[in-house]
Chains A and B, each alone.
Chain A
Amino acid sequence: MKTLIVDDSKMIRGIERTVLATFGCKEIVESSNAADALRLLQSFEPDLAVVDGSLAGEGSAEFIRAFRQKFPRAAVILVTAQTDQASAVEAIKAGVTAYLVKPFTPDLLMQRIEEACGRLTRAA
């Protein structure tokens, strides 16, 4: 499974990469912001995107809308802080498959990946 991680925190990207690798993801590409992530998508076609709910610049909802237009069948997991409710609702409307509230345990992230991939498999 090809996976894109978009988060401004290197630590969070590292945690997500470790969990995704445990899940069996072999092709993982990371970006610290939405603009760079969109550029990466010109040559990388992910099955799953794990996206920070508070991306600066173009923002999470804008990024997810653009991602969805390009990859309508891919799964998107939104990772959001407890008080990002307004932006989380906007991002969910933009088309996330599952969301996860920080702080999260590796098990919770694994569970969301399984849910998102299950929906991906059923939709295919």
Chain B
Amino acid sequence: MIHQVKTAIVESIAELYDRMFSLDADAVSADTSPEESDLISETRLSGATEGTVSIRFPRSTARRLRALATGAEEDPSDADLIDLVNELTEMIVAGMRGRLGPAVVSASRPTVRFGLPRTHDAAGPQHDRWTMASDCGGIDIDAAIRSAPSLRFGNNQNRAAA
């Protein structure tokens, strides 16, 4: 399932960058260093698939994207950057849900903060991390998902019945 989620996120970001910024965005191996000044958005997934999608926007990337979107040249405030990351994350997640089907994934509204990304338990959910690279710099995506407990329980029941 993590592969479908990743593909849906990659396609959603590529569409978003193309339409809003006239930029190409490509998935590459994660290759960036987090900083305290980064903006982190987190969206909780529920439904048949549950988990978290975290997106890390380096401040410089967020500033460039905002300048491209609005044409504004002044230095954006922290609130402006949080607004940008919140709105972009909502569109990315909406695009992902549209591709996976709302029955598979429903999503919370994103929370956005400055700081370092959280670390995931490697033995926990299925997990993938990659960078979407563009001429405005990269953003890091971290997706951690698993099937919902009811489905796992259902699978056990099916096996018991068999």
Q: A9-B86, A15-B70, A82-B95 are in contact. Are A103 and B102 (CB under 8 A)?
A: no
Q: Are A81 and B71 in contact (CB under 8 A)?
A: no
B84 within 8 Å of A (CB atoms): yes
Q: Are A81 and B19 in contact (CB under 8 A)?
A: no
Q: A11-B87, A83-B94 are in contact. Are A103 and B19 (CB under 8 A)?
A: yes
Q: A81-B94, A83-B94, A84-B94 are in contact. Are A103 and B20 (CB under 8 A)?
A: yes
Q: What string of 1s and 0s marks CB contacts (under 8 Å) between A13-26 and chain B?
A: 01100100000000
Q: How far is the CB of A114 from chain B (nearest CB, A)?
A: 18
Residue of B nearest to A7 (CB): B87
- Interface size counted on chain B using CB atoms at 8 A: 22
Q: How far is the CB of B92 from chain A (nearest CB, A)?
A: 9
Query: In the docked arrangement, what's the CA distance between A10 and B97, Å?
Result: 24
Residue of A nearest to B71 (CB): A18
Residue of B nearest to A12 (CB): B87
Q: What string of 1s and 0s marks CB contacts (under 8 Å) between B74-103 and chain A?
A: 000001100110110011001101100010
Q: A83-B102, A102-B94, A103-B91 are in contact. Are A9 and B83 (CB under 8 A)?
A: yes
Q: How far is the CB of B74 from chain A (nearest CB, A)?
A: 12
B127 within 8 Å of A (CB atoms): no
Which 9 pairs, one residue from A and one from B, show the smallest C-beta to C-beta distance?
A81-B94, A82-B98, A14-B70, A103-B19, A9-B87, A82-B94, A103-B16, A83-B97, A83-B94
